[in-house]
């Protein structure tokens, strides 16, 4: 990891802008001397990383190098934060005088930098002397290390290649469906970490028999440090209960609401990874027992916890995989997308069985090791070299060493990316786009030819998935199928936390008795609990994650690069003063979540506007700005007065102001690096000059008073657009997109019409490669279904408040041949929907919400691959007809308005 830190620092020191500032103040030569020395150290440390196993002397030496690299970065960043970043370049006779004036004005800062560089040089000399004195000079000798081949990224399947567990699944399903037990009972799965408890629970949860028998299914992941109200809230969210977070509902409120919602419902609730024996006692009073066969399924590592949950039910402990199944699982991960039974492994058979013995038939160990082997050439010498590094033996009890081996095999940037997962709370899904944007802000991602930084970062995430170090929970509807959300196994998260602490990479504040010394030195801090105002954090803090409503003051940490507020832990609203961000001129990533509201101590609105302009204006390096807030204070402060200076930041790559707000996009704005812009409004002054956003890929545009001709002209400048959300009102010819330069590239389109004009539509008008299409508040002259069914790449279609002239729709044979999800919402005038046999052949999810005049389509019986049907209806008389037609559908939810 130390070599990675040095690499990032050298990249910064070679930046043209940084070198220009250093040259202006006559300190470039001193810094260049340190830079050359770091270059030699970096080359030496590359060998340390390849060797992987180093002795205590070498570990201590590497730690010293890491600390001095951090120190150099702090000194340079502090200097850059205190002097002008963009000095003017006068010419002629005035140049020398201007330069002297600037140096004189900032003389104390320059002298301080020179002094600190001199001290650093002395320290580096001492480090080099110690390396020689203590014989740390064999680090780079050939040690038979494993070479890391360059390979193209492989897109993994969303669902893991799981083998076995059939008997375990059948046993648990039988217990849950036992008709002799009418009372609500608790079934428990217990065993050591990595045994596959969660995998079995998920297979049971998604089993067709379970879907048919339980009207409600709820999944709740439990962390080691849980709060009961958070668990109750998770259950309430899955029951679609409307909760106003501003009212700060109490535990008693949730208990009452859940009790009412579960009345006479047959439910299955899964509590995954329970750590304390009093959890069930606390949550039991919220769950009704109507003696209708409702069940609770618990996974835990403790037999005592499992037994106490329901003394009448014997806890179930899965067995280890057989030798044959262990080998199959290992090879499925080691050789993805191939049938291991059809591959020849005669020369590798002995090694593969040794791998199986090392893993002790533990599924997680096999999966992670298989992910490691998938990155290696498939030959005896390479696999044997991997086996030789596995000098440990686990006897089926632990897999931390295997996980550690896979971590050590990561490249230096990937190690940083993996350790970043330590910041996130246990058992949450992580937004992948935000994650890669933070990686970029941290300078983990190198620039590669013909690829954006985002594309490279996404390939890094795919690499971690391929190695089974990260799990995909969902992929986007966009055409590339990129990862939308991901998570990490708790054992892997433990490894990330341990490594992050060892390398002084990140510290998690999750316990009142925290390590004060470690916190005061940490470069990154993740706050997982309240009382963060008591924290004493490093003045050189670079990254602050706040997952709790209480947020530390950022104003003291002028070198911050990343600030993210995501209230996963406590969803109540909190207030933070916008002034805490003043002077953060190194900030690259700022994400203010919807549960945080801004306040500004201002004498009046005009003062507040100027103050906000001043605060945002200091963020000269900002790349990502997300302001997804809904509170009135924020709407008036941050949106109505959205600072013009924000549109002048050439470094901006992603701007998201949330769906509830839309500041106007000024004319002639020039942002060459901007890729994401959501949500903004059109501007009448575009007539004087259109915004210049040549690399924009995602746009959410709200059309208000601006001339539609001008809007069309702006859209005509966007060549790289792949995702577009457009809000009306707009004219009927909006659907004819053939003249737009993104016509062939667009993959996701949302049109919110807000118009009463009837429109004509032809499939040729729409981008042909659409994957996702959402049309709302539009009226058509013809059957929109017959038009859209010819979009052959379409996977997801959403129709909301859509009207057709005859109140009928038809899906013809072979229509929508790739459609997987269909949502029909609030189509109140729809009376008849004909589904011909062969239509929508692979449809998996169908949601019909508030289509009150719609008769039950007889063609539902033709949708043989349908797995989920949810229908919100007014007439209970339709229920029996739907159930008779959809006996083949495992998950059937019929809700009444």
The pLDDT score that the predictor gives to residue 822 is: 96
Average pLDDT estimate for 84-111: 57
Q: How many CB atoms lie within 10 A of CB 310?
A: 18
Type and span of the H or E element at 676: strand 676-681
Q: Residue 408: is its pLDDT beyond 90?
A: no
**Lateral strand order in the sheet of 430-431:** 430-431, 483-487, 471-475
Domains 166-309 and 412-502 agree in fold: no
Token representation of residue 56: 């205590």
CA neighbor of 420 nearest in space, from 496, 501, 483:
496
Average pLDDT estimate for 471-492: 81
The pLDDT score that the predictor gives to residue 394 is: 43
Lowest-pLDDT range of 26-40, 252-266, 277-291, 862-876: 26-40
DSSP code at position 573 = -
Q: What span, in angstroms and rounded, lies between the C-alpha atoms of 400 and 490?
A: 11
At residue 640 the predicted structure's pLDDT band, cuts being 50, 70 and 90, is low
**Residues 6 or more apart whose Cβ sits within 8 Å of residue 258:** 232, 235, 236, 239, 241, 286, 287
- CA 729, 732, 737, 741 dihedral sign is negative
Average pLDDT estimate for 225-233: 78
The pLDDT score that the predictor gives to residue 683 is: 85
Q: Residues 572, 245: contact at Cβ < 8 Å?
A: yes
CA neighbor of 118 nearest in space, from 75, 59, 161:
75
Q: Residue 233: is its pLDDT beyond 70?
A: yes
- 430-431/483-487 β-pairing: antiparallel
The pLDDT score that the predictor gives to residue 641 is: 54
When the pLDDT of each residue in the chain is averaged and rounded to a whole number, the result is: 79
The pLDDT score that the predictor gives to residue 227 is: 76
Q: Residue 395: is its pLDDT beyond 50?
A: no
Q: Residue 632: is its pLDDT beyond 50?
A: no
**Long-range contacts at 558-561 (CB < 8 A, ≥ 24 apart):** 558/78, 558/81, 558/583, 558/584, 558/585, 558/586, 559/74, 559/77, 559/78, 559/81, 559/586, 560/584, 560/586, 560/587, 561/441, 561/442, 561/586, 561/587, 561/588, 561/589, 561/621
Q: Residue 140: is its pLDDT beyond 50?
A: no
The pLDDT score that the predictor gives to residue 340 is: 58
Instruction: Classify domain 166-309 at the CATH superfamily level.
Output: P-loop containing nucleotide triphosphate hydrolases (3.40.50.300)
The pLDDT score that the predictor gives to residue 151 is: 30
Summarize pLDDT for 45-80 with one digit per residue, the tens. 666 555 544 566 777 777 777 777 778 778 777 877
Share of the chain above pLDDT 70, in %: 78
The pLDDT score that the predictor gives to residue 606 is: 62
The pLDDT score that the predictor gives to residue 435 is: 96
The pLDDT score that the predictor gives to residue 393 is: 44
Summarize pLDDT for 321-333 with one digit per residue, the tens. 778 888 888 888 8
The pLDDT score that the predictor gives to residue 155 is: 31
The pLDDT score that the predictor gives to residue 146 is: 31
At residue 772 the predicted structure's pLDDT band, cuts being 50, 70 and 90, is very high
- CA 829, 833, 839, 840 dihedral sign is positive
Lowest-pLDDT range of 86-100, 141-155, 478-492, 527-541: 141-155
At residue 436 the predicted structure's pLDDT band, cuts being 50, 70 and 90, is very high
Q: Residues 774, 802: contact at Cβ < 8 Å?
A: no
Summarize pLDDT for 208-218 with one digit per residue, the tens. 888 888 888 88
Half-sphere exposure of residue 27, counting CA atoms within 13 Å on the CB side? Answer: 25
The pLDDT score that the predictor gives to residue 605 is: 55
Most confident by average pLDDT, 165-174, 378-387, 576-585 = 165-174
Q: Hey, is 270 helix, strand or coil?
A: strand
> Which tops the pLDDT comparison, 26 or 444?
444
The pLDDT score that the predictor gives to residue 396 is: 37
The pLDDT score that the predictor gives to residue 68 is: 79
Lowest-pLDDT range of 570-579, 596-605, 718-727, 729-738: 596-605
Q: What span, in angstroms and rounded, lies between the C-alpha atoms of 305 and 60?
A: 43
At residue 143 the predicted structure's pLDDT band, cuts being 50, 70 and 90, is very low
Token representation of residue 592: 């203010």
Summarize pLDDT for 822-848 with one digit per residue, the tens. 999 988 888 899 999 999 999 999 999
Summarize pLDDT for 729-767 with one digit per residue, the tens. 877 777 789 999 999 999 999 999 876 667 778 888 899
Residue recorded with tokens 């900032």: 106
CATH number of 412-502: 1.10.10.10
The pLDDT score that the predictor gives to residue 250 is: 80
Provide the whole-model pTM: 0.75
Residue recorded with tokens 């954006």: 452
The pLDDT score that the predictor gives to residue 456 is: 94
Q: Residue 718: is its pLDDT beyond 90?
A: yes
> Which tops the pLDDT comparison, 101 or 367?
367
Phi-psi region of 26 (alpha: psi -120 to 50; beta: other; left: phi over 0): left
> Which tops the pLDDT comparison, 61 or 150?
61
The pLDDT score that the predictor gives to residue 789 is: 93
The pLDDT score that the predictor gives to residue 392 is: 46
At residue 347 the predicted structure's pLDDT band, cuts being 50, 70 and 90, is low
At residue 234 the predicted structure's pLDDT band, cuts being 50, 70 and 90, is confident
Summarize pLDDT for 447-478 with one digit per residue, the tens. 888 889 999 999 999 989 878 788 888 888 76
Average pLDDT estimate for 654-669: 81
The pLDDT score that the predictor gives to residue 677 is: 93
> Which tops the pLDDT comparison, 452 or 601?
452
The pLDDT score that the predictor gives to residue 775 is: 92
Q: Residue 437: is its pLDDT beyond 70?
A: yes
- CA 174, 175, 176, 180 dihedral sign is positive
Q: Residue 397: is its pLDDT beyond 60?
A: no
Q: Residue 419: is its pLDDT beyond 90?
A: yes
User: How do the domains of the chain map onto residue ranges?
Assistant: 2-133, 166-309, 323-408, 412-502
> Which tops the pLDDT comparison, 647 or 797?
797
The pLDDT score that the predictor gives to residue 74 is: 81
Average pLDDT estimate for 605-620: 71
Q: Residue 131: is its pLDDT beyond 60?
A: yes
> Which tops the pLDDT comparison, 578 or 324?
324
List 307's β-bridge partners, or say none: none
Lowest-pLDDT range of 133-137, 479-483, 576-580: 133-137
The pLDDT score that the predictor gives to residue 768 is: 93
Q: Residue 96: is its pLDDT beyond 60?
A: no
The pLDDT score that the predictor gives to residue 431 is: 92
Q: What span, in angstroms and rounded, lies between the C-alpha atoms of 198 and 61?
A: 42
Share of the chain above pLDDT 90, in %: 20
At residue 154 the predicted structure's pLDDT band, cuts being 50, 70 and 90, is very low
CA neighbor of 560 nearest in space, from 522, 532, 530, 597:
522
Average pLDDT estimate for 693-702: 94
The pLDDT score that the predictor gives to residue 104 is: 59
Summarize pLDDT for 784-836 with one digit per residue, the tens. 899 999 999 999 999 998 887 778 899 999 899 999 999 999 888 888 999 99
The pLDDT score that the predictor gives to residue 597 is: 54
């Amino acid at each position: 990891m130390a070599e990675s830190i040095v690499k990032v620092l050298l990249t910064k020191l070679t930046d043209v802008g940084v070198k220009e500032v250093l040259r202006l103040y006559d300190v470039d030569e001193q810094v260049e001397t340190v830079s050359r020395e770091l270059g030699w150290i970096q080359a030496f440390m590359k060998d340390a990383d390849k060797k992987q196993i180093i002795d205590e002397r070498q570990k201590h030496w590497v730690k010293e190098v890491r600390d001095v690299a951090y120190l150099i970065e702090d000194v340079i960043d502090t200097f850059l934060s205190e002097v002008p970043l963009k000095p003017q370049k006068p010419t002629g006779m005035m140049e020398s005088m201007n330069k002297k004036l600037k140096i004189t004005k900032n003389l104390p800062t320059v002298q301080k930098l020179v002094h600190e560089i001199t001290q650093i040089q002395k320290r580096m000399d001492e480090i080099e002397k110690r390396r020689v004195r203590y014989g740390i000079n064999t680090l780079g000798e050939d040690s038979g290390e494993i070479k890391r081949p360059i390979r193209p990224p492989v897109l993994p399947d969303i669902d893991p290649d799981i083998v076995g567990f059939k008997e375990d699944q059948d046993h648990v399903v039988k217990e849950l469906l036992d008709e002799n037990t009418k009372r609500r009972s608790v079934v428990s799965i217990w065993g050591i970490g990595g045994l596959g408890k969660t995998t079995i629970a998920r297979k049971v949860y998604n089993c067709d028999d379970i879907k048919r028998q339980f009207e409600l299914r709820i999944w709740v992941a439990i962390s080691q440090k849980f709060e009961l109200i958070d668990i109750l809230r998770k259950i309430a969210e899955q029951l679609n209960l409307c909760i106003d977070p501003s009212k700060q509902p109490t535990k008693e409120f949730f208990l009452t609401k859940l009790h009412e919602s579960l009345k006479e419902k047959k439910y299955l609730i899964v509590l995954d990874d329970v750590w304390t024996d009093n959890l069930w006692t606390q949550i039991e009073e919220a769950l009704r027992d109507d003696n209708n066969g409702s069940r609770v399924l618990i996974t835990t590592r403790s037999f005592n916890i499992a037994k106490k949950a329901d003394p009448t039910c014997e806890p179930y402990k899965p067995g280890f995989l057989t030798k044959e199944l262990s080998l199959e699982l290992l090879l499925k991960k080691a050789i993805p997308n191939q049938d291991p039974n059809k591959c020849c492994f005669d020369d590798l058979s002995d090694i593969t069985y040794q791998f199986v013995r090392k893993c002790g038939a533990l599924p997680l160990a096999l999966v992670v090791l298989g992910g490691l082997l998938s990155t290696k050439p498939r030959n005896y010498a390479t696999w044997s070299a991997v086996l030789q590094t596995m000098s440990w033996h686990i006897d089926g009890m632990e897999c931390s060493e295997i996980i550690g081996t896979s971590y050590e095999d990561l490249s230096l940037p990937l190690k940083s990316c993996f350790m970043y997962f330590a910041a996130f709370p246990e058992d949450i899904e992580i937004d992948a786009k935000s994650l890669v944007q933070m990686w970029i802000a941290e300078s983990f991602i190198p620039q590669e030819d013909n690829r954006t930084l985002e594309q490279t970062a996404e390939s890094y995430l795919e690499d971690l998935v391929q190695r089974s170090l990260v799990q995909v929970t969902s992929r986007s509807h966009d055409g590339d199928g990129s990862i939308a959300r991901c998570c990490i196994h708790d054992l892997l998260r433990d490894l990330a936390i341990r490594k992050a602490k060892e390398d002084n990479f990140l510290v998690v504040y999750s316990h009142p008795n925290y390590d004060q010394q470690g916190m005061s030195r940490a470069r990154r801090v993740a706050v997982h609990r309240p009382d963060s105002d008591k924290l004493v954090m490093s003045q050189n803090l670079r990254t602050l994650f706040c997952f709790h409503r209480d947020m530390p003051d950022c104003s003291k940490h002028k070198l911050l690069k990343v600030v993210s507020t995501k209230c996963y832990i406590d969803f109540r609203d909190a207030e933070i003063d916008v002034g805490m961000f003043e002077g953060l001129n190194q900030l690259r990533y700022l994400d203010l979540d919807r549960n945080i509201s801004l306040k500004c101590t201002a004498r009046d609105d005009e003062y507040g506007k100027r103050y906000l302009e001043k605060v945002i204006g200091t963020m000269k390096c900002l790349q990502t700005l997300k302001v997804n807030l809904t509170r009135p204070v924020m709407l008036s402060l941050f949106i109505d007065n959205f600072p013009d200076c924000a549109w002048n930041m050439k470094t901006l790559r992603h701007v998201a102001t949330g769906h509830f707000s839309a500041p106007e996009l000024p004319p002639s704005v020039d942002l060459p690096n901007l890729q994401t812009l959501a949500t903004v409004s059109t501007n009448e002054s575009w007539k004087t000059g259109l915004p210049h956003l040549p690399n924009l890929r995602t746009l959410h545009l709200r059309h208000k008073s601006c001339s539609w001709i001008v809007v069309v002209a702006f859209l005509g400048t966007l060549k790289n657009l792949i995702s577009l959300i457009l809000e009306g009102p707009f004219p009927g010819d909006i659907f004819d997109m053939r003249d737009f330069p993104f016509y062939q590239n667009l993959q996701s389109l949302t049109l919110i019409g807000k118009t009463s004009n009837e429109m004509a539509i032809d499939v040729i008008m729409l981008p042909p490669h659409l994957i996702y299409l959402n049309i709302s508040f539009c009226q058509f002259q013809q059957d929109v279904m017959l038009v859209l069914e010819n979009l052959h790449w379409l996977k997801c279609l959403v129709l909301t408040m859509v009207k057709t002239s005859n109140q009928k729709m038809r899906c013809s044979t072979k229509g929508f041949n790739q459609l997987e999800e269909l949502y029909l919402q609030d189509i109140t005038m729809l009376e008849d929907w004909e589904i011909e046999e062969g239509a929508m052949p692979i449809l998996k999810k169908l949601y019909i919400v508030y289509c009150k005049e719609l008769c039950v389509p007889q063609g539902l019986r033709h949708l043989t691959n349908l797995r989920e049907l949810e229908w919100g209806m007014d007439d209970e008389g339709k229920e029996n007809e739907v159930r008779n037609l959809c006996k083949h559908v495992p998950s059937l939810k019929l809700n009444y308005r």
